[in-house]
Structures are given as structure tokens and as C-alpha cells.
Amino acid sequence: MFGSEGRSAFLVVAAGQPSYWNATHQPSVSPIHLALRAPSADAVDAFHRAGLASGGRDNGAPGERGGGRAYAAFVIDPDGNNVEASYRPGAD
């Protein structure tokens, strides 16, 4: 669970295997999903470009998610982790 000053922390627990796991992945030793809060849609775009330029693989190009409630992008890092940057207008 993570948070920052003035903002509440959150924790999401999901049942089952994440969509980015393959048959070799196992609990406690396999990739994670790390979500980062971005300050703007431009920051999400920059995150995605930098992730790909640094050897990551695209796992979701920048775009609206959740019916327009968020603007996010996803990159699989070289260790297989799914890293997300998400901007939620009005969430501050």
C-alpha cells in the first residue's frame, strides 16, 4: 500500500492470475503490476515512450480507460513486471 502526503493510500487485491502472467509464473516469485500516478496525460505519454526506449514492451498504448475516467499506459519491463502510469483528471 502506497500513498503520499495529503493523499490517501490505496490497496487493490485481486483473485486469480493477472492477465500478463504466462504458464511459468507463480505467486510470490512472478511479475507484479505496479501502478504510478501521473500528473498529466502528457506525463503518461512520456512514461510510455521512455519505457519502450529503455527496453520495455508495450502492454497498452496511452489512451482513455474506464470510460474516460483515466488516461493510462502500460509497459512490461525487462523483468516481466507490468508497469502502469495513470492520470485521473479531478482526482486530486
In the chain, domain spans: 33-87
The Cα 45–Cα 81 span in angstroms is 19
Per-residue confidence (pLDDT) for residue 84, from 0 to 100: 95
Q: What is the pLDDT of residues 9-68, one digit of tens each?
A: 555 555 567 777 777 777 666 678 888 999 999 999 999 999 999 999 999 999 999 888
pTM listed for this prediction = 0.71
CATH T-level topology, domain 33-87: 2,3-Dihydroxybiphenyl 1,2-Dioxygenase; domain 1 (3.10.180)
